[in-house]
Amino acid sequence: MTIWNLGSINADMIYDVPHLPGPGETLSANRLDQFLGGKGANMSVASARAGARTAHIGAVGPDGRWARDRLTEYGVDTRHIAVAEVPTGHAIIAVDAEGENNIILFQGANHAISQDQLGQALSSAEPGDLLVMQNETNLQVEAAKMGRELGLTVCYAAAPFQADAVQAVLPYLDFLILNEIEAEQLQQATGQTVSDLTVQHVIVTLGSQGARYFHNGADSDFPAHKVQAVDTTGAGDTFTGYVLAGMDRGMPMAQAITQANRAAALMVTRHGTADVIPDLKEVREAQLG
């Protein structure tokens, strides 16, 4: 089958800093690296490297053709990535010595995706294919509705978190993934706990503690591997991409999550985003705690 990803594409500018800057603070960075990023691009690369056929629906600016070319190099179908008349999205990311980060996003071309472009892409989708979205593009609700009508498995990664955005797509979802803080924010907005949601599959990621999977009123915990993190940027996207690839390949969810935990653990030991996401061979062979 195919994973269709309505997803963001960013240039990630990552600054290595001694500590995360406070309000009004001017801070000298130790190093600057630029990577392909955006939650959407990260997930597309992760699912492709995990062995799934992945088609990306998105947009870059005239300055972003390199990003489309790089996605192609990583095995992603880029035929449905348009070139818009606005700049490519980008992120300014500060990473401290413990691997924690803060991020400033500029949406750019990620919000220039057209309805015609979306419809043309999904006209090639087959029932049973997966459709995934994040909250970094436009047309999320339209895509979710279209996915449901076409018989796709509709998936949503609820980040960057906005309660209204999640609530707008909830009626169409088969799979929802969010972190522990986002789950609490969603509960505050809706009055429902994660286990109350009518979504068939829900995963709450717990950072260094692993992940919790909710299905049909039951929940299961999957502990994380103990590694020395140097950069947590993109780890959640890597986890999601690997889970989706596992679902696409027919893995039991427990096996898909276990493999995704291994991929995320390996990812946090590396500096960077999409360009350093591990492939399936690396994930299987990695010696992890």
DSSP state of 270: S
Q: How far is CA 241 from CA 40, 102, 114, 115, in A?
A: 9, 22, 24, 25
Give residue 242's Cα distance to chain centre.
10
The tokens of 188 are what?
Answer: 């505050």
Residues identified as active-site: 237
Q: Between the CA of residue 172 and those of 167, 210, 213, what are the distances in Å?
A: 10, 27, 19
> 245 to each of 9, 115, 241, 249, how far by Cα in Å?
19, 26, 6, 6
